[in-house]
Amino acid sequence: MRRRRRWSWGISARSALVAATVVFVALTAAGGILAAALYRSMLSGIDSTAAARVADVAASLESGGAAGLDPGLLSTDERILAVQVITPDGTVVRRSSSAPDAPMVPIAEIGDGLHIGMPEHESPYGQIRFSAQTVDGPDGRYTVLVGEGSQVVFATVKAVVIALAVAAPIVVLVSAAITYVLVSRSLRSVDAIRTRVAEFSTSDLTERVPVPDKHDEISALAVTMNEMLARIEAGHSAQQRFVGDASHELRSPLTTIISALEVAVAHPELLNGELATTTLLPEAHRMQALVDDLLLLARADERALTIAQDDVDVDDLLGAEIERQSRETSLMIRADVTPTRVVGDTGGLSRMLRNLLDNAVRHAKSEVVVTLHACGEHAVLIVDDDGPGIAPDDRERVFDRFVRLDANRSRSAGGAGLGLAIVWEIVTAHQGTVTITDRPGGGARFTVQLPLAYAPDSRR
């Protein structure tokens, strides 16, 4: 049974939801803080107004008593709702026109001294705040009671809260809609890239994704993808060239072997030791060496080139290779070798030395000079030949695979063009470097640097 695909929101919808949630939370928090601040501010203003009225009435009572109280001090407005002057026995002797005859707050609950912003009490105006003060006048003690218009504060804050509650959904919806539209427009470039990538095929790697005009993260993504596609195309082309060159190189010894065997089948008397030693075995060995080289380079491409971590005396390996070359060539090979030890793979280093010497002997006119010594923390190997040298423009290219600078040279004399490529891979795998310069007096100089097994100052 096929499982149903779970429905999920797109990035635009999720972004709009997140934006709406964030805006809602922010508006709620900001609205609560605003309402609380507004309430405290307005209540403090009313308390200040009531305190000033209480102080004025008390000052008038102290100087002239209840009879001499200025009628203007009994006026009311939105902030001051009522004013009463009460005797200790609870009689209201002076009051504003809007105040009742009975005390709005029992005398026993007021107490002596100054009280500003007393908690809400029931009154003809509903639940309001009061401010009061006890004062001694020339004709007795009085309590001044002022009712504050705190209901105006409640009404104002309520109106603000309602306005915010009405405006908040609109702001949330607008922010969500704008976020949805902006993210959708931004993702059009991503969708164009996705559509273009879906059209790619392995047979044509020249395709590239469109790069938006805006210099943003999506544009950077498109540029990075195009760079990746360019690397893939280059790698694919290199692989195709590698396969083609390898097939071409293998075809030659196979053709020779097959031709010799066909002749032997047609003329059995010709299948003798001479044919085997002069034709079949050399071509088979050549093909075996070529296959080994190809396998080594393939492992290097897959980062699977195994490098042992053994202490290797490079001077011993170099001495053995020089002795082998001396037996196989009539050229003069001069050597200046000092004991040098590195950490690495014995077989790989021996192969690197063999390829370097083979290359020098192949191109030298009369002599090859080999130098090995320690310099700082590196072992330095220098191989000089007095051949035609290598042009500066070709000094990096010769380390590519199947590269022969002399196009007219035969494969039997010039090799398959893999020797220096293998040198590069082995040296690089040993954390070393190989460079080509001019030899003093003419010719080519190959310089290899490899990390020493022990730093000079750590040897005992």
The CATH number covering residue 379 comes to 3.30.565.10
* Residue that finishes a domain, picked among 250, 267, 301: 301
- Number of domains present in the structure of the chain: 3
297, 369: one domain:
no
212 within some domain: no
140, 27: one domain:
yes
**Residue 448 pLDDT > 90:** yes
Query: Which of 155-159, 197-201, 228-232, 238-242 bottoms out in mean pLDDT, i.e. has the lowest?
Result: 238-242
297, 328: one domain:
no
Q: Residue 460: its pLDDT value, please?
A: 41
Q: Residue 407: its pLDDT value, please?
A: 47
Environment class of residue 262 by beta-carbon count within 10 Å: exposed (0-12), middle (13-18) or buried (19+)? exposed
* Neighbouring residues of 334: CB distance < 8 A, sequence distance ≥ 6: 367, 368, 369, 370
269, 291: one domain:
yes
* Residue that finishes a domain, picked among 156, 177, 197: 156
* Average of per-residue pLDDT across 105-134: 81
Amino acid at 277: T
| Nearest of 404, 425, 427 to residue 416 by alpha carbon | 404
351, 412: one domain:
yes
* Neighbouring residues of 226: CB distance < 8 A, sequence distance ≥ 6: 208, 209, 211
Query: Which of 60-69, 132-141, 278-287, 351-360 bottoms out in mean pLDDT, i.e. has the lowest?
Result: 278-287
- Spatial distance between the Cα atoms of 265 and 260, rounded to a whole number of angstroms: 9
**Residue 360 pLDDT > 60:** yes
4 within some domain: no
pLDDT tens digits for range 149-200: 878 888 888 898 899 889 889 999 999 999 988 888 877 888 888 887 777 7
Given a contact cutoff of 8 angstroms between Cβ atoms, the answer to whether 401 and 242 are in contact is: yes
Q: Residue 455: its pLDDT value, please?
A: 57
49, 144: one domain:
yes
Given a contact cutoff of 8 angstroms between Cβ atoms, the answer to whether 186 and 175 are in contact is: no
| Nearest of 424, 425, 439 to residue 390 by alpha carbon | 439
Q: Residue 208: its pLDDT value, please?
A: 80
Percent of the chain with pLDDT over 70: 84
145, 28: one domain:
yes
Q: Report the CATH number that the domain containing residue 273 is assigned in CATH.
A: 1.10.287.130
Separation in Å, CA 336 to CA 179, 249, 328, 379, 449 = 75, 36, 20, 13, 16
126 within some domain: yes
107, 227: one domain:
no
Q: Residue 358: its pLDDT value, please?
A: 87
pLDDT tens digits for range 51-68: 898 899 888 888 888 888
129, 23: one domain:
yes
130, 31: one domain:
yes
20, 51: one domain:
yes
248 within some domain: yes
8 within some domain: no
pLDDT tens digits for range 320-354: 889 988 888 889 999 999 999 999 888 888 888 98
163 within some domain: no
* Residue that finishes a domain, picked among 268, 301, 334: 301
CA 405 to chain centre: 43
Angle (CA) 296 300 304, round 5°: 100
Q: Residue 315: its pLDDT value, please?
A: 92
Q: Residue 444: its pLDDT value, please?
A: 92
Q: Provide the domain limits for residue 347.
A: 310-458
* Average of per-residue pLDDT across 305-329: 85
132 within some domain: yes
166 within some domain: no
Q: Report the CATH number that the domain containing residue 145 is assigned in CATH.
A: 3.30.450.20
225, 335: one domain:
no
Q: Residue 421: its pLDDT value, please?
A: 83
